[in-house]
A and B are shown apart, each in its own frame.
Chain A
């Protein structure tokens, strides 16, 4: 009985370790591959009880005004946003809720439509929080120019690679 309990217990612990390892490997693979783009953003600074300080980011591409294709979006849709380089950042030039459209574009990011007002859509890309060491949020908060380098997977899913504060990569030691 004790042997069975021991075996079952350590199998569950092993399962928990595998979950953690799986999450780490999945994220590392996403960061190692994919297209790198830089997006213009701006900060707000709240705190999460479990994970500590973070900077809430709002991107220029978070709000699409009159962008071609925005008329077809509805709340809750997965939206594919076509990106093109404009100066040193990437900007939204077209949007669609069809993956088939996105597959024809060279670079696109996927997000979720959270609000629609007339021909303006608000999107969430899952990269709206940047976690920082305790008390360091203020440096980012006071920045004049804030950009984020993200990695885009083949499905358009974005992951934050690093933060660029006033032209310098923000160093997390």
Chain B
């Protein structure tokens, strides 16, 4: 195989057809010679999308299995090798796996398999951290290990443009931060309020990070991962806080914002500041690019509203539980409807599907809230079952209609162009 053939780019059959059509036009106009036209076309090779996807699925599953295997190997706590030897061995393994992944991805042009092996390297780095924790009997909820894992693999995700490594980094960071927060709030009564407030603010930060990524060509690849995690956090927490039983009168009376640990308050306010700063950044980019339609900034404003509401949770200014329930139901359902509309106008199935999911979950939540005490149990389950089926059918219709009309808009846009 020649070097030229090795560097041929894999594209879909549809895209090759488009290129062929364009090249034919250029040839006709005399923009390129017949030789140049052949040269352009010879740079591409058709790969079936199904085949490409199968490779990705296989190598990613393989990577996850191998990574989990290494972690399990560590957790078995093998005693045959002395402490230092074990750690050095695992470090050597991490370096070797990374080198192999890099070599395959960049030197031998196996981007998918190479990328998957780099993912194994990132997991093996985590396993090495756990090994250190195990060998020195560090506390299992020690957040440092997860946070080092996050800091270590995040740059790998960006450099190798790997979404799988990014997801691993986000999960590790989220886990580590969770340990840290629970450590700070350990032993404090009603600390769940502070937890919820923090995760609401964190959801806003992660969402806004995704939106910033959307605005840069080179970062766009990672936008949907952040947006998805952000939305799950924002709406997940809003959903939990929309239940009337979450706020107890005793909790509201006993709550003191000032008694929260200083480190927690600082971290919480940093999260809010980051969300607001990120939103302002997005807005500045949009103004510079003269793209200031509500379609662009509505969700950023929404994220800022969500993070502002987290102050309500952490300071608890209202004395009645019902006030909070009302605020969070408005936030949940208002947010969900806004998200569906926004997804529709932007043509984003991610936003529409997430919005519809939380709409369904929200309706079911309200049914539990209202009907649990009022109805006899048999009626509760029968009516609940019927409501679930009804909501399911309604959502399926809505989803199909919305996604179909989004496709129709795309087709008409293409025709106009």
By a beta-carbon cutoff of 8 Å, the part of chain A in contact with chain B is: 2, 5-6, 8-10, 12-13, 15-17, 19-21, 23-24, 27, 31, 48-54, 75-76, 112-116, 122, 124, 126-134, 159-160, 172-173
Contact = CB atoms under 8 A, between A and B. Distances in A.
Interface of B: 71, 74-80, 84, 87, 91, 94-95, 98-99, 102, 106, 121, 125-140, 142, 148, 151-153, 155-156, 159-160, 183-184, 186-188, 261
Given A9-B160, A134-B75, A159-B137, 5 more contacts: A21-B91, A76-B188, A76-B261, A130-B137, A172-B79
B187 A49 contact: no
Contacts of B137: 54, 127, 129-131, 159-160
A20 B132 contact: yes
B188 A9 contact: no
Contacts of A112: 183, 186
B377 to A, nearest CB: 36
Nearest to A132: B77
25 contacts: A5-B159, A6-B106, A8-B155, A12-B159, A16-B153, A17-B91, A21-B91, A23-B129, A23-B132, A49-B75, A50-B130, A51-B77, A51-B131, A52-B74, A52-B75, A54-B137, A54-B140, A112-B183, A116-B187, A129-B138, A131-B134, A131-B135, A133-B76, A134-B77, A173-B80
Most buried by A among B94, B140, B156: B140
Nearest to A54: B140
Given A8-B159, A20-B132, A51-B133, A75 B187 contact: yes
Given A20-B87, A54-B140, A76-B261, A9 B159 contact: yes
Contacts, number: 126
B261 A15 contact: no
Contacts of A8: 155, 159
A75 B102 contact: no
A126 B130 CA distance: 16
B230 to A, nearest CB: 25
B140 A48 contact: yes
Contacts of A24: 84, 87, 132
B106 A2 contact: yes
B79 A133 contact: yes
A124 B140 CA distance: 12
A141 to B, nearest CB: 16
Contacts of B183: 112
Contacts of B126: 50
B77 A16 contact: no
B139 A159 contact: no
A131 B77 contact: yes
Nearest to A115: B187
B139 A114 contact: no
- 9 closest A-B pairs (Cβ-Cβ)? A52-B75, A173-B79, A160-B137, A51-B134, A27-B136, A75-B187, A114-B187, A131-B134, A16-B152
A144 B396 CA distance: 62
Contact of A159 (B94, B95, B134, B136): B136
B95 A13 contact: yes
Contacts of A133: 76-79
A166 B74 CA distance: 28
A7 to B, nearest CB: 10
Given A52-B77, A128-B139, A134-B76, A114 B186 contact: yes
A75 B261 CA distance: 9
A16 B75 contact: no
A51 B75 contact: yes
Given A2-B106, A24-B132, A51 B140 contact: yes
Most buried by B among A21, A75, A113, A132: A75
B139 A129 contact: yes
Contacts of B136: 27, 31, 159-160
B128 A9 contact: no
Contacts of B131: 51
Contacts of B138: 27, 126, 129
Most buried by A among B125, B138, B183: B138
Contacts of B261: 76
Contact of B186 (A50, A76, A130, A132): A76
A31 B76 CA distance: 24
